[in-house]
Homo-oligomer: A and B are copies of this chain.
Amino acid sequence: MMIPNFAPRAALLRAAAAAVLIGFAPELLAQAAPAPNKGDTAWLLVCTAIVIFMTLPGLGLFYGGLVRSKNMLSVLMQCVLVFALVAVLWSLYGYSLAFTSGNAFFGGFDRLLMKGLTPEANAATFSKGVVVPELGYFAFQAAFACITCALIVGAFAERIRFAAVLVFTVLWFTFSYVPIAHMVWFWPGPDAFTDQAAGDAATAASGFLFKRGALDFAGGTVVHINAAVAGLVGAWLVGKRIGYGHEAMRPHNLALTMTGAAILWVGWFGFNAGSALEANGAAALAFVNTLIAPCAAILAWTLGEWLGKGKPSMLGAASGAVAGLVGITPAAGFVGLGGALAIGFIAGLACLWGVTGLKRLLRADDALDVFGVHGVGGIVGALLTGVFAAPSLGGTGIYDYVGNKVAENYSIGSQLLVQGTGVAVTVIWSGVVAFIAFKLAGLLTDGLRVPADEEREGLDITSHGESAYDR
């Protein structure tokens, strides 16, 4: 695959990440160091809290409601433990390897073992001279890492060995999440772009995809495609559930699934609008887009089901909401309201196909449709971001940090190419890492799958020694 020379355009980027100021540009700190605005700090911390809320209980309920009651706790348990594990790994090395300066694929060791993470440390935003407490940024990004890894468990739910989930998570987090986050989001921050030369240097020091100009506002590639591909690989390797295709595997509690979807949505405001890192108009734009894109997706999915199957379902509407949220994630701060409605509508239809037509083609028992929703929605969103970010279509365009203004010529075609590159790199990288990680996990834990009779009886009792419900 030929990758065009994006270098000159990369200096123009505005993306959903910030560099660690300290250590990167000490000379900047020497002069009057900017202090965080308390409105930004409040915003960032609140957003972080609600992104955490997305995984626990949001994702847990969304997923848990969809499985059979005998596996409810296993799903919750996997979400909780993946969350806890990743948050600790994030502290120990993940943050440092993702968000400090290193090479194009991995960061460095500046923040290893939480070194230097004090209340006084600040992190850059997307505005020159505007910083936020680095601990806030650390926590915000921790929440992203946690939910990404937790998303994966939906694909092989109801039959995987618990220990295998943990081993897989450690490996995949380290070798897929961390580098993809670095590739897509790491840059030296806006204050490095003092003139063209400095800008070029800063661009060169950025992540592999960032420097190519890939737009991913809040994690279409890093979070959704990344997790979805890992899930799909897992579903293939772990194999289909016993009885899949001829026994009914009805969701055991769609009220919980809807509650989970709604909590995901609320948290997603933090996810997307918080990715602006400041409480400003850009955050408000991302917020509104995160509101209306899923609404359009709900209407699309509902309409699709109504026309195609005769009845519109609540699970369809809830799935549509998530589809729209996934679709708008990479675009949230880059597109206008019209673009958001379009992306939402298209993502809704695409994911409806993802969980029906595509699912039949893939022939994997992706139990909770991680790929059908997050994969399809993520790819559609990533590509459409390239389209609707165009100022001519109401988008914000790309910001030129050297010229301090929106860059003038936006080419949908070449941006689409960049976006496609981002998608392709993520799909391949995550796929390969996931494959190896699952294989290793299987070796280390006596097989990826529980024995058949344990699967029949349910993982709650056999893996965790408890039952979700008693009447």
User: A: which residues have CB within 8 A of B?
Assistant: 36-43, 45-46, 48-50, 52-53, 56-57, 60-61, 64, 68-69, 72-74, 76-77, 80-81, 83-85, 87-88, 91, 113-114, 117-121, 133-136, 138-139, 142-143, 162, 250-256, 258-259, 261-263, 265-266, 269-270, 273, 278-285, 287-288, 291-292, 294-296, 298-299, 302, 309-315, 317-318, 321, 336-338, 341, 396, 460, 463-471
Contacts and interface: CB of A to CB of B under 8 A. Distances in A.
A333 to B, nearest CB: 9
Nearest to A114: B337
6 contacts: A49-B50, A72-B254, A74-B314, A84-B296, A84-B317, A312-B464
A391 B300 CA distance: 52
Interface SS of chain A: helix, strand, loop or mixed?
A: helix
A282 B119 contact: yes
A279 B464 CA distance: 40
Contacts of A287: 45, 48-49, 135-136, 139
A254 B73 contact: yes
> In the assembly, how many copies of this chain are there?
3
A135 B296 contact: no
A133 B296 contact: no
In the A-B complex, the 10 residue pairs with the closest CB atoms: A38-B39, A119-B281, A135-B284, A39-B39, A42-B279, A42-B43, A57-B262, A56-B262, A84-B298, A84-B295
Given A77-B317, A279-B45, A53 B262 contact: yes
Contacts of A251: 470
Given A39-B39, A291-B142, A252 B469 contact: yes
Contacts of A73: 254-255, 313-314
A256 B258 contact: no
